[in-house]
């Protein structure tokens, strides 16, 4: 599943990272109003973007069920003031970023959602091994965009250009494919999160359905056609009770709109593979965590709230059943994603005519050992050296499932996928990153008194 146990839908607290480049970045609040007609029609989405300058996102919200205020403001904005694409300097940046340094086997990859959690890690890994890579991201404010900007700054430092734009912008995608003969697309841009769908269903249709089609349209028209690897989700298993989840299990009973859009994506992938000869691999990620993670996910907001001395809510199923997740460390997910790119066969429809059947694959990428959320909290307490204030609450019926467990034998066999980071180790690295990133410049974090209760340090 994607998001996780209790939701923390409010604005994410604006602890200021002390990386100096971040101070240079302005923070804006945008609010927008999405209208979408009907998702089977997938018609017009009207977007009004008002913006109010507001340098500080100061409201912090506890990870409680009752704090779901202020989310109206968080409706998504799409792109903002990026340099006009098409000008020669912009084109040069795209080409430079796409340059392959690893010959003869290097690939050139368009990574959508590159300023996101998984996207930034995958992009960085590709660049480090010498592949050409161009990012695309709309920097929407589903969660604190300054985190996305910080990831972008790191990528920029290693020579990766993340284009600011929406995957629904067909002309922009065509321009990118005109400039670069991408061999692969790693499509990770999406509206993530399970519970947010009840607030803003249109954003899921916009990014996960219409956006996916837009990316596949650009890919099938490109010459040569790239191979596609994209992020589905373990949430497609929905109400399936057979465990561990295998790729051959039924996925026709999704429990959230998010899951339904990912399932729809897998079906859409089938169509583009069948008609246009696109080589497509769908990856079902299981609850990914690690440094630079998403603020709307359990590891992150439990850490934040434990440090702030706030009571955290732990969900329980019927009969006090514990909620457990197959938490998967980011490096393992990156390894599986790159292995998917490396084993992807070429698309067969370049030039507009399908030459023969193309590859179509689905893989679970999980960790294969579910851990209860109670255990997750205990591990965090040990790493943070702060006692958590717990509260147990009934899990609301809003899309999350009780238990996820991946069978990854197919990915082992076909991709050489070997998840080898357990939750202990992975959380240790996450906590280390969190403390460094959000510590006040003075470093007072590490003093005994500074821990846990500080309003400045969260
Ligand atoms: N993190 C998990 O546990 C998990 C689990 C299962 C599946 N997934 C999937 O993996 C992918 C990456 O997830 P993540 O955790 O890195 O999330 P993320 O939100 O950090 O990254 C997604 C990025 O895509 C961008 N984006 C969203 N809509 C866009 C649009 N219309 N145009 C351009 N950019 C857009 C966002 O700004 C964001 O930076 C997503 O498809 C998600 O659904 C994640
Ligand atoms: C895992 O999936 C494989 C097929 O990929 C199957 O052969 C195997 O029996 C499954 N294992 C379990 C424990 O269900």
Ligand nearest to the CA of residue 138, numbered in listed order:
1
Residue pLDDT, tens place only, 103-131: 889 999 999 999 999 999 999 999 999 99
> Is the pLDDT at 3 greater than 90, yes or no?
no
Residue 328: φ, ψ to 5°? -125, 130
> Is the pLDDT at 17 greater than 50, yes or no?
no
With a pLDDT cut of 90, the percent of the chain lying above it is 72
CB-based contacts of 23, cutoff 8 Å, min separation 6: 16
CA 156 to chain centre: 19
- Both tokens of 303, joined, read 């850490």
The ligand 1 atom nearest the CA atom of 167: 32
CA 367 to ligand 2 center in whole angstroms: 15
CA 122 to ligand 2 center in whole angstroms: 28
Residue 33: φ, ψ to 5°? -120, 115
Say yes or no: CB of residue 192 within 6 Å of ligand 1.
Answer: yes
Q: Is residue 8 part of a domain?
A: no
Q: Is residue 6 part of a domain?
A: no
The ligand 2 atom nearest the CA atom of 410: 5
Q: Is residue 246 part of a domain?
A: yes
CA 267 to chain centre: 20
H helix or E strand, kind and range, residue 332:
helix 330-343
Bin 49: left if φ > 0, else alpha if -120 < ψ < 50, else beta.
beta
**Look-up of token digits 């958590």:** 388
Identify the band that residue 136 occupies on the pLDDT scale cut at 50, 70 and 90: very high
The ligand 2 atom nearest the CA atom of 413: 5
Cα torsion through 33, 38, 44, 49, rounded to 10:
10
Say yes or no: CB of residue 115 within 6 Å of ligand 1.
Answer: yes
Say yes or no: CB of residue 169 within 6 Å of ligand 1.
Answer: no
Ligand 1 pocket: which of 32, 42, 116 to mutate (most atoms within 8 A of CB): 116
CA 411 to chain centre: 20
Ligand 2 pocket: which of 242, 409, 413, 415 to mutate (most atoms within 8 A of CB): 409
Q: Is residue 7 part of a domain?
A: no
The ligand 2 atom nearest the CA atom of 247: 5
Task: Tell me if residue 258 is catalytic.
Answer: yes
With a pLDDT cut of 70, the percent of the chain lying above it is 78
pLDDT number for residue 399:
73
Protein residue with its CA nearest to atom 43 in ligand 1: 192
Identify the band that residue 39 occupies on the pLDDT scale cut at 50, 70 and 90: very low
Identify the band that residue 50 occupies on the pLDDT scale cut at 50, 70 and 90: very low
pLDDT number for residue 76:
56
Q: How many domains does the chain fold into? A: 1
User: CB–CB of 135/160 below 8 Å?
Assistant: yes
Q: Give the span between the Cα atoms of 42 and 168, in whole angstroms.
A: 12
Ligand 2 interacting residues, C-beta cut-off 6 A: 244, 246, 407, 409-410
86 vs 191, residue with greater confidence? 191
Q: Is residue 146 part of a domain?
A: yes
CA 409 to ligand 2 center in whole angstroms: 6
In this structure, the chain runs to a length of 458
**Where in the sequence is the domain holding 193, given as residue range(s)?**
20-446
CATH number at residue 413: 3.40.50.720
| 3-state SS, residue 347 | coil
Residue pLDDT, tens place only, 219-272: 999 999 999 999 999 999 999 889 999 999 999 999 999 999 999 999 999 999
Say yes or no: CB of residue 139 within 6 Å of ligand 1.
Answer: yes
CA 259 to ligand 2 center in whole angstroms: 23
User: CB–CB of 377/312 below 8 Å?
Assistant: yes
Helices (H) and strands (E) in the chain, counts: 13, 15
CA 79 to ligand 1 center in whole angstroms: 15
Q: Is residue 356 part of a domain?
A: yes
User: CB–CB of 265/282 below 8 Å?
Assistant: yes
Closest CA to 2 of 189, 235, 168: 235
Q: Name the active-site residue from 143, 204, 237, 258.
A: 258
Q: Is residue 456 part of a domain?
A: no
Ligand nearest to the CA of residue 155, numbered in listed order:
1
Ligand nearest to the CA of residue 413, numbered in listed order:
2
Q: What is the DSSP string of 61-105?
A: --SSTT---SGGGGPPP---SPPPTTSHHHHHHHHHHH---STTT
User: CB–CB of 387/396 below 8 Å?
Assistant: no
CA 255 to ligand 2 center in whole angstroms: 24
Ligand nearest to the CA of residue 192, numbered in listed order:
1
- E strands along 146-200, which residues? 161-164, 184-187
Residue pLDDT, tens place only, 361-392: 999 999 999 999 999 999 999 999 999 999 99
Q: Is the dihedral of CA 218, 364, 360, 130 positive or negative?
A: positive
Closest CA to 135 of 172, 104, 170: 172
At CA 293, angle to CA 125 and CA 97, rounded to 5? 35
pLDDT number for residue 70:
30
Q: Is residue 185 part of a domain?
A: yes
Protein residue with its CA nearest to atom 1 in ligand 2: 407
Protein residue with its CA nearest to atom 34 in ligand 1: 137
- Both tokens of 311, joined, read 């009571």
- The DSSP secondary-structure symbol of 209 reads I
Bin 285: left if φ > 0, else alpha if -120 < ψ < 50, else beta.
beta
């Amino acid at each position: 599943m994607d998001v996780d146990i209790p939701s923390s839908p409010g604005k994410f607290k604006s602890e200021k990272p002390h990386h100096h480049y971040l101070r240079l970045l302005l923070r804006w609040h945008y609010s927008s109003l999405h209208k979408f007609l009907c998702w089977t029609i997938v018609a017009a989405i009207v977007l009004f973007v008002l913006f109010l300058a507001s340098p500080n996102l100061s409201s912090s919200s506890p990870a409680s069920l009752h704090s779901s205020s202020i989310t109206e403001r968080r409706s998504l904005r799409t792109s903002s003031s990026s340099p006009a694409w098409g000008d020669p300097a912009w084109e040069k940046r795209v080409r430079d970023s796409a340059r392959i340094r690893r010959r003869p086997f290097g690939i050139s990859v368009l990574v959508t959602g590159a300023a996101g959690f998984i996207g930034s890690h995958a992009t960085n890994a590709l660049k480090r091994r010498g592949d050409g890579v161009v990012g695309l991201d709309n920097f929407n404010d589903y969660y604190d965009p300054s985190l996305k900007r910080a990831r972008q700054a790191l990528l920029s430092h290693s020579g990766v250009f993340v284009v600011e734009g929406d995957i629904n912008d067909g002309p922009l995608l065509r321009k990118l494919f005109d400039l670069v003969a991408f061999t692969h697309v790693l499509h990770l841009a999406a509206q993530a999160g399970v519970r947010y769908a009840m607030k803003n269903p249109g954003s899921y249709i916009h990014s996960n359905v219409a956006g996916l089609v837009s990316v596949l349209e650009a890919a099938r028209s490109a010459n040569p056609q790239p191979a596609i690897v994209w992020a589905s989700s373990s949430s497609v298993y929905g109400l399936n009770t057979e465990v561990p989840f295998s790729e051959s299990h039924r996925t026709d009973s999704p429990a959230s709109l998010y899951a339904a859009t990912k399932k729809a994506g897998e079906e859409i992938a089938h169509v583009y593979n069948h008609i246009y000869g696109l080589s497509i691999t769908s990856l079902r990620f299981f609850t990914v965590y690690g440094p630079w993670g998403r603020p709307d996910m359990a590891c992150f907001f439990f850490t934040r709230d434990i440090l702030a001395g706030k009571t955290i809510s732990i969900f329980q199923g019927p009969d006090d059943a514990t909620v457990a997740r197959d938490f998967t460390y980011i490096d393992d997910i990156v390894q599986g994603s790159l292995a998917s790119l490396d084993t992807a066969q070429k698309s067969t429809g370049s030039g507009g005519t399908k030459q023969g059947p193309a590859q179509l694959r689905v893989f679970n990428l999980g960790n294969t050992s579910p851990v209860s959320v109670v255990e997750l909290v205990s591990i965090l307490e040990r790493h943070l050296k702060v006692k958590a204030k717990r509260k147990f609450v009934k899990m609301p019926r809003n899309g999350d499932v009780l238990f996820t467990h991946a069978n990854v034998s197919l990915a082992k066999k076909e991709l050489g996928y070997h998840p080898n980071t357990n939750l202990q180790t992975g959380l240790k690295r996450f906590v280390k990153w969190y403390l460094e990133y959000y510590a006040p410049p003075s470093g007072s974090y590490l003093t005994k008194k500074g821990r846990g209760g500080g309003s400045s340090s969260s």
